[in-house]
Structure 1
Amino acid sequence: MNSTVSPIACKVNNVFIHVSDLKKSAEWYSDLLGLPFNKEEVNSPVYNVPVTSETGLTLDDHTFDPGFKLKPSNHVLFNFFVQDIDEAYQFIKNKGIIVVKEIERIGDFAYFNFKDLDGNVLMICNC
């Protein structure tokens, strides 16, 4: 393997989620994460969800790309961290969000998968 120094930082900087309705998706993700939401702050083509981690979360409706065709991912795009997997699972179920994989427990690790408004598969896990 080549031992040259890479100019690319060893961290994920931002995650993009492609959406069909930016305002609805911004409100949905804000509600999911318990964040305040102001529809007036959402301006196409992107909305940066105000997450509190190093990695950002951007919703993108591709307003300036008329040829773009949304193809929701059937594979997990990323995961949200939780302390209590059972509490998070009940929260998701109470919101009527579609769970596509029930809680899987592997030792102390547990996760489940669900869909966003556009059908993208996301994960919640405790590690």
Structure 2
Amino acid sequence: MKFQGRSPRKRTGGRRRNFRKKKKHELGDQPTETRVGETSLKTVEARGNTEKVRAVTANTASVATDGDVVAAEIEDVEENPSNPNYVRRNIITKGAIVSTSEGRARVTSRPGQDGQINAVLVE
């Protein structure tokens, strides 16, 4: 369940003022912008005494081809619908099109959340 906080607007359209600052558990984290490079992971503490593994850099992707999954080498980021500047900085997010040793592939996982890159071939 996500807690984003209540809306700053009332039902009538009027503004609601904050009655306090955010508590520690309501604060967000800086996004982990996964880049192309030698694989390195980072673990962060999450709620409920759990841990998340985040990919800081990665150079391999599990690419789903016809009927099987192949570990492919990532060469670079070709397109990124979430932010065009991510292409120049080689940042991989969900939905990014990357060129791999198997061909062009679209990322279907969230590397900053899962710590791994899963993709499907585009062509």
Bigger Rg over Cα: 2
Pairwise same-fold verdict (TM > 0.5): no
TM-score by length of 2: 0.25
Higher helix share: 1
Higher strand share: 2
